[in-house]
Copies of this chain bind each other. A is one copy, B any other.
Amino acid sequence: MKIFEIQGGVCAPKGFKANGIHCGIRKNKFKRDLALIVSDVRAAAAGVYTSNLVKGAPVVVTKNNLTDGFAQAIICNSGNANTCNADGLEIAETMCSLVESAGGIARRDVIVASTGVIGQKLDIAPIDSHMDELWNGLGDNSDFAAEAIMTTDTVKKTVAVEFECGGKVCRIGAIAKGVGMVCPNMATNLIFLTSDVAITPEMLQKALSEDVKTSFNMVSVDGDQSTNDTCCIMANGLAGNELIASKGAAFTAFCKALNYCTVKLSRMLAKDGEGATKLIECRVYGADRKCTAKAVARSVIKSSLVKAAMFGADANWGRVLCAVGYAGVKVNVNAIDVSFASSKGELPVCKDGFGIEFSEELAKEILSQDEVIININLNSGSSKATAWGCDLTYDYVKINGDYRT
């Protein structure tokens, strides 16, 4: 099956428009802070959300609005998470109502999200007063929407693909934001996907829920699980394929294209982790079970000591083995091989759980690249998993030492 990357982000699929403006939630007037994505027609919709017990009000409202499996618009602000506020639910509901007033989309068909500081009242006034401007600017503006959902992100995260599904050319597009408070076991921060595939809400939810297990849930920046994580997809059917209502070739094609997008975004999210200078990919092979491979990959990616060593391009593989050892799953320590790799080559550093001689010079060169791979072979089976993270840097501390004030 062929998957082609195309331009256009969330507007690449047929029948989607987007916009992003500065409405005034953020003080910097050059920073867009309000995004809107709209489908021409009502679309099947699905979502996965944070498993944090402290849930942002928008998460509660979105989950409720998606119970019928349909949506037509996504509204999202940055600069304030609308979480832990006494009037949070009311504000989130009002954001949906404002979309209804401006564009005639039923408020129950609106996905709402917020990202930013927790526990500060979100003023609805700037959103209210800029809703017409936001609506009237809808067009091929995926990048504006991508910018508007960014917080400390340094790059826009967007992807779009074209693929064949049920004999028709179909598309998936997406934007995402991430950077801090990013940890496995949730759907990472905010990811909005669009597609023109015709699919039932049930199959769409199935595809998304399955997908995040190997994509966003395998990303960690800092081990902190956000209160507002939301990954939603709308599929409006305008590609004209036969409705996907069960498993089969068409569903498989859709899932593959979806996974292409989500893995690409996962890597982008990890690489742009707060303060990060490099992407770290941990590939675990030879596990007895899938869950073992996943637990090991995530444990290594989350280790502060591994992350700091990667920042310093220090081939301190003992820390990798240490993180394998506390992953909480049974492994045979004396069967583990470890190697570091990047565009500069691959270097074995540990064999059967013991250190082996290696060139420190080559290690330094390999680890100084902006994408580094930690290969771990457990030599105990055929299961594998990949997780993505980033290094721990001075800038992570700087960004988070004074984020709020």
Contact = CB atoms under 8 A, between A and B. Distances in A.
A403 B325 contact: no
A223 B54 contact: no
A263 interface: no
Nearest to A392: B397
Interface string A368-393: 00000000000000000000000011
Interface stretch (A67-75, A129-137, A191-199, A301-309): A301-309
Interface stretch (A32-40, A117-125, A164-172, A251-259): A117-125
Contacts of A224: 303-305, 319, 322-323, 326
Copies per complex of this chain = 2
Interface stretch (A93-101, A234-242, A350-358): A350-358
A309 B401 contact: yes
The A interface, classified by DSSP as helix, strand, loop or mixed, is loop
Interface in A297-321: 302-305, 308-309, 311-312, 314-319, 321
Contact of A397 (B117, B120, B397): B397
B118 A405 contact: no
Interface string A340-367: 0000000000100111000010000000
B401 A322 contact: no
Q: Which 9 A-B pairs have the closest CB atoms?
A: A118-B318, A312-B401, A54-B325, A308-B400, A119-B355, A225-B326, A52-B325, A312-B402, A119-B318
8 contacts: A53-B324, A53-B333, A84-B350, A227-B322, A305-B400, A309-B401, A312-B403, A316-B403
